[in-house]
Amino acid sequence: MRASPRFDGRVFRNTYPVSTGLKAGVERPTMREFLCPDDERVPSTPLPLVDPVAFWSRRPASGLRVSWLGHSTLLIEIDGVRVLTDPVWSDRASPLPFAGPKRFHPPPAALAALPPLDAVILSHDHYDHLDSTTIRQLARTRATTPLITSLGVGERLERWGISAKRITELDWWETAEIRDLTITAAPAQHFSGRGIRDRNTTLWSSFHLRGAQHSFFFGADTGLTPEYSDIARRLGPFDMVALEIGAYHPSWGDIHMGPVNALKAYELLGSGAFLPIHWGTFNLAIHPWSEPAETLYRLATAVPLIMPRLGAPTEPSQSNGVDPWWRTVASAAPEPLAESDAPENMAPVERMMD
């Protein structure tokens, strides 16, 4: 950590000086927006899920297949190697089992139903990306699977009983080799912390996977940054990129992208099919739950979008366009929430940015 150019001796910092809190000069969300019960931030009917387990028993025809399991959890099958990203199987993205943002849908597959894994990537330590319950369960059931993460996060994993021998921490542009796969940590413009006193004491990263034939970029959590040009130059071209589109607001626009800035980031990356992530699972902002998908679908007319139903394994070389499945869910009238129930799916301002 001390050797990292991003570490100032106390905390990690983004390359560019941006706000990791509410931006000055931008309209901020009100308490009414957080607590208003009659909006569409939560789906009113069940989301359509696809059971991916039967697909996983067969190798991808193209060599690259990705299953979006919700939020930023992906099972990536690339040139014979399987990698799981930011696994969250808990009911809530929260330190508390009884409060905090609750899942819109169950995981499309049980944790025990996952195929053999070659690695697990943990981009940073926020609750909607680093879920202690899921990690502890994986540690018990996948006792030899290595965990690859950002600088400093390994200490948390060790406190949860995971052997240091299984943990690889990376700074940006450092690599780890898993069989015939090279995993590279890359820049992201975000922040870290799981409590009041540990802000930015661990690093946050995006990750690139380079197999024998294919290239995949996992953007994790980030705001729009010029560093995407560096990522394209050093790691591209890509067959597929996964970029966050949800949980955004102008007042925290430096550390989350939203669909408009995600398209700008895609332009900087310059290649690959575009898989939007970080939406459709948790209520982490004040926009309607399907707004990120709808906005992206409307604007990305010349972009090779891949927007599968949750759980559906997708090979970018075999994609046949986008079916806007979320419209069948968003069109139904939402059920009003009782005032006493509202907070369980509303995140406080600090959590909004997690």
DSSP string for residues in 141-166: HSTT--EEEETTHHHHHHHTT--GGG
CB 192, CB 12: distance < 8 Å: yes
Residue pLDDT, tens place only, 1-55 = 999 999 999 999 999 988 665 566 566 665 555 555 456 889 989 999 999 999 9
Reply yes or no on whether the pLDDT at 98 is more than 70.
Answer: yes
The pLDDT of residue 32 = 59
Please tell me the distance from the alpha carbon of residue 285 to that of residue 291, in angstroms, as a whole number.
11
CB 271, CB 229: distance < 8 Å: no
CATH number at residue 244: 3.60.15.10
Q: What angle do CA 144, 114, 152 make, to 5 degrees?
A: 50
Residue 258, domain member (yes or no): yes
Residue pLDDT, tens place only, 265-278 = 999 999 999 999 99
Bridge partners, 92 (sequence order): 102
Please tell me the distance from the alpha carbon of residue 184 to that of residue 148, in angstroms, as a whole number.
10
Residue 313, domain member (yes or no): yes
Please tell me the distance from the alpha carbon of residue 205 to that of residue 199, in angstroms, as a whole number.
15
Reply yes or no on whether the pLDDT at 339 is more than 90.
Answer: no
Residue 112, domain member (yes or no): yes
Tell me the residue length of the chain. 354
Pairing assessment for the beta strands 215-218 and 81-85 based on DSSP bridges:
unpaired
Bridge partners, 305 (sequence order): 274
How many C-beta neighbours within 10 Å does residue 174 have?
A: 15
Reply yes or no on whether the pLDDT at 345 is more than 60.
Answer: no
Q: How many domains does the chain have?
A: 1
Question: Over the chain, what is the mean pLDDT?
Answer: 90
Residue 11, domain member (yes or no): no
CB 26, CB 253: distance < 8 Å: yes
Residue pLDDT, tens place only, 124-151 = 999 999 999 999 999 999 989 999 999 9
Compute CA distances 132 → 54, 153, 177, 183, whole Å: 28, 12, 25, 23
The pLDDT of residue 268 = 98
The pLDDT of residue 28 = 60
Q: Sorting pLDDT into bands at 50, 70 and 90, what band is 352?
A: very low
The pLDDT of residue 49 = 97
The pLDDT of residue 320 = 84
**To the nearest whole percent, how much of the chain has pLDDT over 70?**
87
If you search the block for the tokens 């050797």, which residue do you land on?
Answer: 3
What domain range is 176 assigned to?
48-352
DSSP 305: B
CB 243, CB 110: distance < 8 Å: no
Residue 190, domain member (yes or no): yes
255 burial via Cβ count (<10 Å: 0-12, 13-18, 19+)? buried
Q: Which of 29-38, 54-63, 281-290 has the lowest mean pLDDT?
A: 29-38
The pLDDT of residue 36 = 57
Q: Sorting pLDDT into bands at 50, 70 and 90, what band is 156?
A: very high
The pLDDT of residue 250 = 81
Q: Residues 54-81: what's their mean pLDDT?
A: 97
Q: Residues 236-246: what's their mean pLDDT?
A: 98
Residue 2, domain member (yes or no): no
The pLDDT of residue 220 = 98
Residue 98, domain member (yes or no): yes
Pairing assessment for the beta strands 74-78 and 313-314 based on DSSP bridges:
unpaired
The pLDDT of residue 29 = 62
Q: Sorting pLDDT into bands at 50, 70 and 90, what band is 243?
A: very high
Reply yes or no on whether the pLDDT at 335 is more than 60.
Answer: no
Q: Sorting pLDDT into bands at 50, 70 and 90, what band is 342?
A: very low
Residue 198, domain member (yes or no): yes
Q: Sorting pLDDT into bands at 50, 70 and 90, what band is 177?
A: very high
The pLDDT of residue 351 = 38
CA atoms within 13 A on the CB side of 295: 17
Please tell me the distance from the alpha carbon of residue 169 to that of residue 106, in angstroms, as a whole number.
30
